[in-house]
Chain A
């Protein structure tokens, strides 16, 4: 990438630091000093500059940027990021074609989504029809009647399994006789005692012990 530039000002000898100044050089130096003032102050470079001045100020900027840390402010950073996004998205929206893979995926998704409302409606309708067809025959009845009917239709439990199991000797206890528990207990005890006396008097007690059981 090297080039020959025989007329390049950079190839002219640089005057020694104590060499006398020319008027032309003073004029250029003053102009350059103003550019450096703007550089240090953070101002932009003027657009209209001759090539040599622009290059010199670029060199000065490079020196500064390389040695001193020139930070990017957070606000400027965010603005630059937003500008980059706007540029990319703006370019996409202006009919610039997306990559093929993205385009085909988007087209496929769009075609699927187009039929989604219809599919939802059909499924909902089918579910409603299925419910109508399969539901049991309704029988409107008052709540009390429904309860009694359910009670009658329920499987009959034996007296033994009801909440007030009755002794076989007593039988089912009517609700009206619920308070006569003492009489029922006396009857049961008497029955058990009578049975025992019977066994004893008949000499069966000893026989039970020998033969292992006797039936009444």
Chain B
């Protein structure tokens, strides 16, 4: 199974596990657990016209949610992730793993963007500058024409606002 893991480890990590956990170390642990579970349960895999990547993805999603339950993260965030990043397999199940990963990545971006559209533009800009473009705090403060301390508060409020709207359905 090693060639399978070598091929699918990166898309599982970047498009399935890390977006659900956010934490790199935890994501790596879940990836390892996913592979171990796949090796132990490989006799349960049945070819049904779907790539084995879909099966690995299901294991990874469940492992990620186990982490949330185990660490007793806020239930609302876990629910929000369940809504925004569903565990159901993507529509095109027969697609190649790369295509599935690309589709998942696009969906993740779309859902994050949809939530960003719900929050105040100034909060959205703070998140965009610091978390997406990874500009230093000083640079972000300059662009928003505030002090660094004020920018810290702005970003703090922005992420809280995002969390509030994440998982909401219109």
Contact = CB atoms under 8 A, between A and B. Distances in A.
Contacts of A33: 137, 152, 155-156
Interface residues of A, number: 57
The B interface is mostly helix, strand or loop, or mixed, namely helix
A21 B150 contact: yes
Given A36-B131, A59-B22, A63-B131, A84 B39 contact: yes
B18 interface: yes
Interface residues of B, number: 65
A193 interface: no
A62 B22 contact: yes
Given A66-B19, A69-B14, A70-B18, A8 B36 contact: no
A85 interface: yes
A117 interface: no
A28 interface: yes
Interface stretch (A74-82, A103-111, A138-146, A151-159): A74-82
Given A51-B74, A84-B5, A88-B39, A63 B25 contact: no
Nearest to A9: B160
A17 B23 contact: no
A14 B149 CA distance: 18
Interface in A42-61: 42, 44-45, 51, 54-61
Given A32-B156, A64-B132, A65-B22, A10 B40 contact: no
Interface in B130-170: 130-132, 134, 137, 149-150, 152-164, 166
B10 interface: yes
Given A10-B164, A32-B156, A72-B28, 14 more contacts: A8-B76, A10-B74, A10-B76, A18-B122, A30-B149, A45-B25, A55-B77, A55-B163, A58-B23, A62-B112, A65-B108, A67-B113, A76-B28, A77-B9
Interface of A: 1-3, 5, 8, 10-11, 14-18, 21, 25-26, 28-30, 32-33, 36-37, 40, 42, 44-45, 51, 54-72, 76-78, 80-81, 83-85, 87-88, 99
